[in-house]
Structure 1
């Protein structure tokens, strides 16, 4: 008796077999198993540093080519050379440097993507989020939650008007993966301000919260985390705490209502590397984007050494080894997709000896 699944025609060659099943939209797993389920992450993103002193002249030139209103957002995308054409700095994150000149307005709109702004250079600009306006100062960390109306402008401050540059970070690649991106333009160029500046921070920024009508919001109710307060916290840690051998003094920004990240898809951090800090190697599965706020030092990423100075941006891909060191006191802002990795229980870290 023949076996129930016996074939009576000659056995095809592997390639003939592959060609025949392709017409049925089938592919053999055994040909791709090791790339689909690797022994460890192998990101196509590459370690890269963008020197602000090299990028800044082109940002200024872009201001002569197109207005903020025409561009909607005048941004030079920091595209990872390992991800050409994807407008991505890692597989899951987007980053760009945005310029707004004195007297300009970047029109009001909203989108499903969550966004952060980290102010890099210049004073006098503002952002308005859902009816509340806040001034931007260098080092401030500002969030735009998913589907929140927001616009930006530059009216100057204390009689000073100057170009303002900030780092944009968004979860655009994540939403592209889920095919879940939506956007909508406002009917007005700028929002009408309906809440006094600082009202959100007054309610939620002092380890207190209103007693009524407040739930556990996925996005932080605070949308501006002032650098002056964050820097003061790092200074206190420097005086009172032992330095961590891998991170120096590192803090994460939090949603004050939940203790989680300010946005559900993006985690943000600020760290101080004391002068002459020589960190140990570590690695993590959340690819991370760094922006240098103060000081000079170096980042060794998978054996490549990058010297950094204020306003530079560099990226550490997933599972790449990182060792940080500083010449003088250095402050680094960073962001990653850690919240989603933690929620999915796939985050992995390794702290290595030198």
Structure 2
């Protein structure tokens, strides 16, 4: 039987052959058939290659201190160990949109001043005596402090103290890089000039009054540091009055005091107290969320997989993966969390569910 006769006898084979020839033809003109890829582009529910994961601080701390012997802050520019999601290794991603890492600064070191398009936050894990300087304010770093470095804000870090200091860094660099809009700049001076005392921005903007003439609307918080010693009592008050969400515990949202919006246009953060014995109800949302343990111990089940956590541990819940928190220790627990929820909300695509 000839090839032509075979094709006539098998019309489906003939159609497939014709389609493939057509696809090859248009490929040379940088065209592609949407009907062949549509199901992968428009899915019934969110799909992510990211996986739930947990990093135990006890182990990370050992590796961080080893890094202090291996490379100086000056050589590294920023001595950071990247928290890489196992679902997408080698991409420096903890979620599809966010970078996260643990940074170390040793006594006597300076992480020199620079600025970049990506916004950054710090959540202080361990150690005392270090500072971060942002836009002219030199802020001391204490356990649980939430420090903001907004888009293009000059910043540097230093440790005039006597012990190593470590903190969690989270940046929106993968959002910036998605738009291919990354810029960075280094300064001739290692340290920026500071003209605002420690805590100035919090006292100036976050105490119920504002400097006269301050713009009514801004897309980022003017506060540099939300100190843990001022945030924790608010959680305690919520617990005392019974304002406890069945999924999240007694939770507050770090807010821009100018308009009540998120602290950054791309990233938003919460601090939650989970009372002793707390067993949370299931929750999921489209923002992949990075958690850091400020106090206590417990277990979070993410997509059916349990992750036991304790002080300063970091774990991640990928987008639209159901999770529940449970406190297993002898006291309350406090969880810090950060995600790209503000970016999703501004686009009208954020969703939550059980």
Q: TM > 0.5 between the two?
A: yes
Determine whether 1:350 maps to 2:326. no
> Tell me, what secondary structure is at the counterpart of 2:93?
coil
Aligned counterpart, 1:43 = 48
Q: Which moved more, 1:276-285 or 1:194-203?
A: 194-203
CA distance in 1, matches of 2:214, 2:353: 42
CA distance in 1, matches of 2:234, 2:104: 29
Aligned counterpart, 1:243 = 244
Give the one of 137, 146, 158 matched to 1:153.
158
Question: What pairs with 1:216-295 in structure 2 (closer than 5 Å)?
Answer: 216-295=217-296
Report the alpha carbon displacement of residue 242 of structure 1 after superposing the two structures with TM: 3.9
Report the alpha carbon displacement of residue 10 of structure 1 after superposing the two structures with TM: 8.8
CA distance in 2, matches of 1:43, 1:10: 34
Question: What pairs with 1:259-338 in structure 2 (closer than 5 Å)?
Answer: 259-327=260-328, 328-338=331-341
Determine whether 1:135 maps to 2:140. yes
Count of residue pairs brought into register by the alignment:
339
Report the alpha carbon displacement of residue 218 of structure 1 after superposing the two structures with TM: 1.6
Determine whether 1:16 maps to 2:17. no
Q: Which moved more, 1:181-190 or 1:18-27?
A: 18-27
Structure 1 runs not aligned, ≥5 long = 1-8
Aligned counterpart, 2:125 = 120
CA distance in 1, matches of 2:128, 2:293: 18
CA distance in 1, matches of 2:214, 2:303: 49
Give the one of 52, 59, 69 matched to 1:54.
59
CA distance in 1, matches of 2:310, 2:288: 21
CA distance in 1, matches of 2:181, 2:308: 38
Structure 2 runs not aligned, ≥5 long = 1-13
> Tell me, what secondary structure is at the counterpart of 2:75?
helix
Aligned counterpart, 1:92 = 97
Superposition TM-score, scaled by structure 1 size: 0.93
Report the alpha carbon displacement of residue 186 of structure 1 after superposing the two structures with TM: 0.9
What is the CA deviation profile of residues 208-265 of structure 1, one whole-angstrom value per residue up to 9, with x for unaligned ones?
1111243422211111000011100000111112421111111100000010111111
CA distance in 2, matches of 1:188, 1:279: 49
CA distance in 2, matches of 1:267, 1:232: 21
Aligned counterpart, 2:174 = 173
CA distance in 2, matches of 1:55, 1:213: 42
Q: Which moved more, 1:15-24 or 1:176-185?
A: 15-24
CA distance in 1, matches of 2:214, 2:178: 34
> Tell me, what secondary structure is at the counterpart of 2:111?
strand
Relative to 1, partners in 2 of residues 1:11 and 1:214: Cα closer, same or farther, differing over 3 Å?
A: closer
